Amino acid sequence: MTPISLSDFAKLQIRLAYKFRDENFLCLALTHPSITHEANSPSQHNQRLEFLGDSVLGLVLSRELYEKFPDADEGTLTKSRAKLVNAVSLAAHGKALDLGAHLILSRGEENTGGRERASALADAFEALLGAIFLDAGFDVAREFILREFAAEISELTLPSGIENPKGELQELLQSKSPSAPQYQLISADGPDHDRNFICAVLHDGLELARGSGKSKKAAESDAAVAALKNLKEEKSV
């Protein structure tokens, strides 16, 4: 088994911007199931915490999407959540936090590249969320999750069956006119860490709709979604 030192714990907790009251939770979250096979006897590892963390993560992001997209139906919300929570995304979060360097592995797992394995990183990240939940409760775990997923959430626009709203709007408009839609930044307010952008989409000099978002790209996509909705409503009148 690969040990982890107290200094390693301290460095990792600085990176997490969270200090555990009970570091046993952190240790367990980093303990890979391979140690059970190496010890040849039942040993605690992170799979139970992974199960718990997965549930906490799902609840936090579900609530966030429910509030972000008040008009979205169940299917749309499920698709949105799937974009945020998948094996690739979870592994990326685990890698960004450098969890691989701190995993407690069997020698065999260590020698076969276990620290870089996407499944191990994803599992450790979810186990970490479960550990924070047990150590400090739901509100603290929610704060950590929202901080980790802030960029993805801000870029996420209402799917409503539209995978590429800007592309779909351009295709719709250019079926009637050779002119492409133009996007104009209306405003950008707020501090650098929490900006809010408002963009308008225009066609042939006429404003079709406006949208908002935490980035210019997100605001443009939101404007495109609104424009598509307006055009479809006009068509149905």
Q: Is 192 exposed, middle or buried (0-12, 13-18, 19+ CB in 10 A)?
A: exposed
Whether 17 and 31 have beta carbons less than 8 Å apart is answered as no
Selection from 208, 235, 205, 206 nearest residue 224 by Cα? 208
As beta bridge partners, residue 196 has 189
Catalytic residue among 109, 126, 220, 222: 126
Instruction: Locate all alpha helices (DSSP H) within the chain, ordered by sequence.
Output: 6-16, 23-29, 34-39, 47-68, 74-84, 87-96, 107-111, 118-136, 138-148, 150-155, 165-174, 216-236
CB 43 within 8 A of CB 35: yes
Residue 73 appears among annotated catalytic residues: no
Identify whether 126 is a catalytic site residue.
Answer: yes
Measured CA to CA, the distance from residue 61 to residue 121 in angstroms comes to 20
Active-site option among 54, 109, 135, 222? 54
Strand partners, 197: 188, 213
Three-class secondary structure of residue 15 per DSSP: helix
Q: How far is CA 6 from the centre of its chain?
A: 30
Q: At what angle do helices 165-174 and 216-236 cross, to 10 degrees?
A: 50
- Neighbouring C-beta atoms of residue 84, cutoff 10 Å: 18
Positions marked active-site: 54, 126
